[in-house]
């Protein structure tokens, strides 16, 4: 059972933003350094895509592509699916299920405020 709490109570406030022209290698380095499972892709101030660990494995490493050569724009998921931070955790869970994803961008009045992941759900249920 998913607790009746707001997304903002379990989201990670750590958002790492990269440019679409950055390489997959750079995203992997950032994810490793910061202990996160995704990075968001931005153009200026606008976040429009997301790259996850799963993208790295399925779209780059599995097919044998060179992470130093592949640009994030070619593997990112877009648009970045988001949910407002005041929404209930249950709503985030449903949205992730409907879109078959494991990371959601969390927003506050339309501006990025965090990330919620499948891991966030587990940690909220089994702290």
Task: Report the CATH number that the domain containing residue 41 is assigned in CATH.
Answer: 3.10.580.10
How does residue 127 score in pLDDT terms, banded at 50, 70 and 90? Answer: low
Do the Cβ atoms of 111 and 15 come closer than 8 Å? no
Q: Please compute the mean of the pLDDT values over residues 66-89 and round it to a whole number.
A: 96
- Asked whether residue 2 is assigned to any structural domain, the reply reads no
Q: Report which of 14, 36, 27, 8 is spatially closest to residue 106, judged by C-alpha positions.
A: 8
Question: CA quadruple 114, 55, 117, 87: dihedral positive or negative?
Answer: positive
pLDDT tens, residue by residue, 32-65: 999 999 999 998 878 889 999 999 999 999 999 9
- Asked whether residue 113 is assigned to any structural domain, the reply reads yes
Helices (H), the chain: 24-34, 53-55, 89-99, 118-125
pLDDT attached to residue 124? 76
- Asked whether residue 1 is assigned to any structural domain, the reply reads no
Beta strands at 111-117 and 38-43: parallel, antiparallel or unpaired: unpaired
**Domain around 84:** 7-125
Mean of per-residue pLDDT scores for the chain: 93
| Number of independent structural domains in the chain | 1
Residue 61 main-chain phi, psi, to 5 deg? -65, -45
pTM value is 0.90
């Amino acid at each position: 059972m998913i607790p009746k709490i707001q997304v903002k109570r379990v989201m990670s406030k750590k958002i790492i933003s990269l440019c679409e022209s950055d390489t997959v290698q750079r995203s992997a380095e950032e994810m490793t350094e910061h202990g996160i499972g995704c990075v968001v892709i931005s153009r200026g101030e606008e976040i429009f895509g997301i790259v996850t660990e799963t993208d790295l494995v399925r779209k780059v490493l599995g097919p044998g592509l060179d992470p130093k050569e592949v640009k994030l724009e070619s593997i990112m998921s877009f648009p970045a699916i988001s949910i407002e931070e005041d929404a209930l955790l249950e709503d985030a869970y449903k949205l992730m299920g409907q879109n078959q994803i494991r990371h959601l961008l969390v927003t506050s009045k339309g501006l990025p405020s965090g990330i919620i992941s499948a891991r966030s759900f587990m940690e909220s249920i089994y702290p």
